A and B are shown apart, each in its own frame.
Chain A
Amino acid sequence: MTEHMTLTETEALQLLAYLTASAEITLLEPDLYGPFRLIDACSKLAGHVLQHDPGDSRNFWEEIKADIDLKKLWLMSDRVNFREFIKQMPAIVALELVRREAKEEVAK
């Protein structure tokens, strides 16, 4: 597992501001906005990681951010595919976890 700096304390505070505001407004918003706010927070997290040096993981973070920024907007135009996208995202992240685990095993 690469151990690069991913967030400054200020960036973490900005993310905290977004997440706490999301927690408040999702008390009132339609249910599907909960997943939307969370996936949007994932994009912001990826954006912060990319501000630093994610090393040879840069492609992964760039791709995941681009994918989220494109497909999160389906909430407003294509809710069926938005739901599918939300369901598929954890699998994409899991693939990266497995890939890294295997890479570390080889390195040992």
Chain B
Amino acid sequence: MSDHRSTFEIIQTRRVSRFFTDEPVSRDNLLHLIKAARWASSAGNRRIHKFVIIDEQKSVNLVRLVSPGILGNPKALIVICTDKIKAAMEGVKLDMDTTTWIDVGTASQNMMIAAHEMGLGSCPTTSFSKSAVRVILNLPDYLEPEYILQVGHPKEQPLSIGKGEAAKLPIETIMYWGVFPESD
């Protein structure tokens, strides 16, 4: 599973995969991704998110129908849900606290990096109907679907989608050193 690439190399070579082969993703691999998410940083170590893994193709296809952000044919989906009961126990104000979204991001990034390390492709998805996904997955009221990670074995991505756009951004265009000078 592991290789000799440095962490930075794995980060640098990861790309979003929107199109996948028909090869299924093993449950061991999916479990490995959840373990990676479990090690993600979490605001105040509150851990208010739950992970719903869908690898039965019938359910994957139903979620696809109400998720315009899923352009290809992922073999598995990991739905990150906010556990509203846990959030209330932790005193989190979900309508105001943006750190809950950061926690979705850190968990997602850990999973995408771990997927890439294993040779899997992944794609973050926020363009889906929450109300429809709730019905399809029969989610209890206390779980709010926030985000879907598509997972599969990547196949060659269409050229028109663009490749490595981030690498084309000169580093000086995205950073500043130190304190900004006062303007006149």
Contacts and interface: CB of A to CB of B under 8 A. Distances in A.
A71 B160 CA distance: 7
A47 B64 CA distance: 15
Nearest to A78: B162
Interface string B44-66: 00000000000000000000011
Contact of B165 (A22, A73, A77): A77
A76 interface: yes
A21 B128 contact: yes
Interface footprint category on A:
20 to 34
B67 interface: yes
Interface of B: 65-69, 71, 127-132, 158, 160-162, 165
A70 B127 contact: no
A61 interface: no
A21 B158 contact: no
Contacts of A71: 160
7 contacts: A17-B66, A20-B66, A21-B129, A22-B68, A69-B158, A77-B160, A77-B161
Nearest to A43: B71
A24 B131 contact: yes
Nearest to A69: B158
A24 B131 CA distance: 9
Interface in A2-33: 14, 17-18, 20-22, 24-25, 29, 33
